[in-house]
């Protein structure tokens, strides 16, 4: 006798996908729980239009982030927070221009226009972010001689920001990363989150990249290799 089970088996998964797209989409939708946290990386004026290190289309991440943030009971934001004359600024290395690189004691460093100087308007979070329930803002890159793209570890590879301890103390297991820029602070944060043992998702359309010297393609390749999951904001279940 040909019951429902046999018919489904005979159709196979491809035919089934064509027949029931809605049901299958619902099954892949990700529902953040109390052990999930959204990390909103560096949505600061310097990285937005008119800023000193403006990321192309950077402003487009703001409404997407505001929307997905509603699905999270835990939201942490970061601020790039440099001293004046920070080692990552091209302006302090004579003869060097932004986007060139130099070798520092901890490795290769891309040089940037002056940006996100502590206490300046450029370092402020975008006023269009609407995430009143964000529970922690972590600042990074505040040691004059060390950069910190990652929200977890400074660029020396050993100085902790304390974020992993905070998240573990709050029993967080899954981390969703959004913000600016995909190929620097978002990617380095996602990679370090994997190293710290978290399950990690990067929400692609909630990020934008700088893309200098192939950095964006390399970042996605490194993240894929490390087991970071690349998702879209529509994959996250946000109830009205
Ligand atoms: C960033 C370059 C320099 C970032 C910060 O937020 O991705 N990029 N400082
Ligand atoms: Zn910076």
Give me the CATH number covering residue 151.
Answer: 3.40.50.850
Query: Quick check: CB of 198 below 6 Å from ligand 1?
Result: no
The answer as to whether 175 is a domain residue is yes
CA distance 115 to 52: 6
The answer as to whether 103 is a domain residue is no
Q: Where are any strands of DSSP class E within the chain?
A: 36-41, 75-80, 101-104, 107-110, 136-140, 174-180, 199-208, 229-231
Sheet holding 174-180, edge to edge: 136-140, 75-80, 36-41, 174-180, 199-208, 229-231
Query: Quick check: CB of 42 below 6 Å from ligand 1?
Result: yes
The answer as to whether 65 is a domain residue is yes
Output the pTM of the full model.
Answer: 0.89
- Pick the residue whose CA is nearest to atom 2 on ligand 1: 184
> Which residues are found with C-beta within 5 Å of the ion, ligand 2?
80
Q: Which atom of ligand 1 is nearest to the CA of 182?
A: 7
- Our mutation pick for probing the ligand 1 site, out of 45, 47, 48, counting the most ligand atoms within 8 A of Cβ, is 47
Q: Which domain holds residue 122?
A: 31-82+118-235
Give 18: exposed, middle or buried? Use CB within 10 Å, 0-12, 13-18, 19+.
exposed
The answer as to whether 21 is a domain residue is no
The answer as to whether 93 is a domain residue is no
Residue 39 and residue 99 in contact, taking contact as beta carbons nearer than 8 Å: no
pLDDT score at 7? 45
Q: Which residues are catalytic?
A: 42, 140, 185
The answer as to whether 18 is a domain residue is no
The answer as to whether 90 is a domain residue is no
Query: Quick check: CB of 151 below 6 Å from ligand 1?
Result: no
Query: Quick check: CB of 183 below 6 Å from ligand 1?
Result: no
The answer as to whether 153 is a domain residue is yes
DSSP H helices in 132-237: 163-169, 187-195, 215-225
How many domains are contained in the chain? Answer: 1
Q: What is the pLDDT of residues 92-146, one digit of tens each?
A: 999 999 999 999 999 999 999 999 999 999 999 999 999 999 999 999 999 999 9
% of the chain with per-residue pLDDT over 70:
88
CA distance 106 to 112: 17
- Following CA atoms 57, 58, 59, 64 in sequence, which dihedral angle do they give, to the nearest 10 degrees? 100
Q: What is the pLDDT of residues 178-237, one digit of tens each?
A: 999 999 999 999 999 999 999 999 999 999 999 999 999 999 999 999 999 999 999 999
Q: Which atom of ligand 1 is nearest to the CA of 88?
A: 3
């Amino acid at each position: 006798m040909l019951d429902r089970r046999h018919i489904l088996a005979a159709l196979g998964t491809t035919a089934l996908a064509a027949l029931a797209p809605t049901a299958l989409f619902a099954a892949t939708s990700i529902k953040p729980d109390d052990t999930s946290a959204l990390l909103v990386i560096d949505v600061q004026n310097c990285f937005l239009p008119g800023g000193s290190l403006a990321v192309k289309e950077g402003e487009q991440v703001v409404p997407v982030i505001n929307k997905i943030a509603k699905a999270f009971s835990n939201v942490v934001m970061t601020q790039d927070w440099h001293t004046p004359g920070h080692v990552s600024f091209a302006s302090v290395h004579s003869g060097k221009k932004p986007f060139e690189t130099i070798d520092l004691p901890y490795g290769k460093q891309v040089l940037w226009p002056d940006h996100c100087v502590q206490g300046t308007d450029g370092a402020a979070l975008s006023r269009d972010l609407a995430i009143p329930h964000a529970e922690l803002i972590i600042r990074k890159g505040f040691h004059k001689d060390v950069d910190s793209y990652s929200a977890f570890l400074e660029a020396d590879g050993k100085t902790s920001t304390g974020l992993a301890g905070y998240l573990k103390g709050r029993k967080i297991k899954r981390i969703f990363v959004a913000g600016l820029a995909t190929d620097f602070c978002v990617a380095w944060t996602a990679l370090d989150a994997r190293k710290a043992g978290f399950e990690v998702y990067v929400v692609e359309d909630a990020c934008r990249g700088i893309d200098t010297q192939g950095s964006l393609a390399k970042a996605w390749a490194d993240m894929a290799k490390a087991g970071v999951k690349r998702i879209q904001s529509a994959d996250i279940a946000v109830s009205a």
